[in-house]
């Protein structure tokens, strides 16, 4: 196998992408790769002829400087994993290549409404940072499609809305959440958990599952279900951030006749902020 090609500036990236043949898929990441990321890469390989992976810890989407500095950076290991997966090209820009001027004066992309609830309410400005970097990556790479995990369900909807509203010629593909054997959604932030915290962490998924089962059994008292799940999470030793039952297409409050729902939850456990969701078809 040939070594995976790595590019760190936009000009050489575009030149390398132009040399690829056929349909190009982009998998944006912040590195510290795990099986969840590699599942996205494998799916990208199935839907495209060439796969580009970006690794960039985006400062614009962090609301706390200490969180940005603590985010694990494992580039050498990541490159080895991507080479083993047969990735065609890896884009690893420095901050200066993405934001050549001050970030304070940089043009930003905002998806109003969807960006202001749940994770957006807990992390002000986060989704502006996400939408901005994804928009920039789409312009830099110019892929035919891009693959994202459904674990970040709100993020996926925001990106789809941005692509629709800005008429971007990029197909957005969502891939089901990859989980550990006990149900915990795979995440780079799981590395922050100590042994005791890791044992409690699946409680978030368990609360989502119980809520989903209740919905399938006919309950529609959404506020009561949300309160019960929140208590379940807290009693397991996590600090709930939010838990909501929403319409899957746009995260609006569910109404009579809505059959495609999503249960979204987030909770703090030690230094880790866990997020997860479950889609429910009624």
The ranges assigned to domains in the chain are 5-175, 188-281
The mean per-residue pLDDT over the stretch 138-154 comes to 98
Residue 99 neighbours by CB distance under 10 Å: 19
Average confidence score pLDDT of the chain:
96
Label residue 102 by pLDDT band (50, 70, 90). Answer: confident
- Give burial (CB, 10 Å; 0-12/13-18/19+) of 196: exposed
Write the Ramachandran bin of 142: left for phi over 0, alpha for psi from -120 to 50, otherwise beta: left
Q: How many CA atoms lie within 13 A of 255 on its CB side?
A: 3
Residue 256 neighbours by CB distance under 10 Å: 5
The pTM is what? Answer: 0.96
Catalytic residue among 34, 37, 43, 144: 37
Select the CATH number that applies to the domain covering 188-281 from these four: 3.40.50.720, 3.90.1710.10, 3.30.1300.10, 2.60.120.10. 3.30.1300.10
pLDDT reading at 1 higher than 60: no
Separation of alpha carbons 212 and 278, rounded Å: 7
pLDDT reading at 142 higher than 70: yes
What pLDDT does residue 18 have? 97
What pLDDT does residue 63 have? 86
pLDDT digits (tens, 9 = 90+) for 8-50: 999 999 999 999 999 999 999 999 999 999 999 999 999 999 9
Q: What is the CATH number that goes with domain 5-175? A: 3.40.50.620
What pLDDT does residue 64 have? 87
Percent of the chain with pLDDT over 90: 95
3-state SS assignment for residue 229: helix
Structure token digits, residue 113:
């409404």
Is 144 catalytic? The answer is: no
What pLDDT does residue 2 have? 59
What's 253's DSSP letter?
A: P
């Amino acid at each position: 196998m040939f070594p995976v090609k790595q590019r760190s500036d936009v000009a050489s990236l575009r030149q390398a992408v132009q040399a690829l043949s056929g349909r190009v898929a982009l998998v944006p990441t912040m590195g510290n790769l795990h099986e969840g990321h590699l599942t996205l890469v494998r799916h990208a390989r199935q839907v495209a002829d060439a796969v580009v992976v970006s690794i960039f810890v985006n400062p614009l989407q962090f609301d706390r400087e200490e969180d940005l500095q603590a985010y694990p950076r494992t580039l050498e290991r990541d490159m080895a994993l991507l080479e083993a997966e047969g990735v065609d090209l890896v884009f690893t820009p420095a901050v200066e290549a993405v934001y050549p001027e001050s970030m304070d004066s940089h043009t930003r992309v905002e998806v109003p409404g969807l960006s202001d609830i749940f994770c957006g309410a807990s992390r002000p400005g986060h989704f502006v940072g996400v939408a901005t970097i994804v928009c920039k990556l789409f312009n830099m790479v110019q892929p035919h499609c891009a693959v994202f995990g459904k674990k970040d369900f709100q993020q996926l909807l925001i990106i789809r809305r941005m692509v629709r509203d800005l008429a971007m010629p990029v197909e957005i593909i969502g891939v089901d959440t990859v989980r550990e054997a006990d149900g915990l959604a795979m995440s780079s932030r799981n590395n922050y958990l100590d042994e005791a915290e890791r044992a409690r962490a699946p409680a978030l998924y368990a609360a989502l599952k119980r809520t989903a089962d209740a919905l399938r059994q006919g309950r529609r008292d959404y506020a009561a279900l949300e309160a019960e799940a929140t208590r379940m999470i807290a009693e397991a030793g996590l600090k709930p951030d939010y838990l909501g039952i929403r319409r899957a297409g746009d995260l609006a409050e569910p109404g009579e006749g809505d059959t495609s729902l999503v249960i979204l939850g987030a909770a703090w456990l030690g230094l880790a902020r866990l997020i997860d969701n479950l889609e429910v078809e009624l």
